[in-house]
Amino acid sequence: MKVVPLNEVKNRLSAYIELSKREDIVVTKNGRAAAVLHGVTDKDLEDYLFESDPKFIARIESLRRQYRREGGTKLEDVRKEFGLSPRARRRKVRLSK
């Protein structure tokens, strides 16, 4: 993590954006932390936008309340619902000495 004053970041923004792909950049204003430059990929941005959507957040909260009230669903039941075969049991493997 690198700490850099705002004026320096403003003068060399492209360079700091490139650097933020490798490490976070804490931007200071008047000697205090004001922002963080954190490099992102297209997938990171997609996840961030999705997870910040108020409808998505409300849906997750609703599902959590439902889970606390009613409990979860067995994997076996979900597999049946989607027409998947039951999960094969794993065999124990013996390691030779």
Fold (CATH) for 2-37:
YefM-like fold (3.40.1620)
Q: Encode the chain (97 residues) as per-residue pLDDT tens digits.
A: 999 999 999 999 999 999 999 999 999 999 999 999 999 999 999 999 989 999 999 998 998 999 899 988 888 888 888 888 877 666 666 666 5
Compute and round to an integer the Cα radius of gyration of the chain. Answer: 24
Backbone angles phi, psi at 3, to 5 degrees: -110, 125
Domain boundaries, the chain: 2-37, 42-71
Contact (Cβ atoms closer than 8 angstroms) between residue 34 and residue 27: yes
Give the whole-angstrom CA distance, residue 14 versus residue 40.
14
Collapsed DSSP state (helix, strand, coil) of residue 3: strand
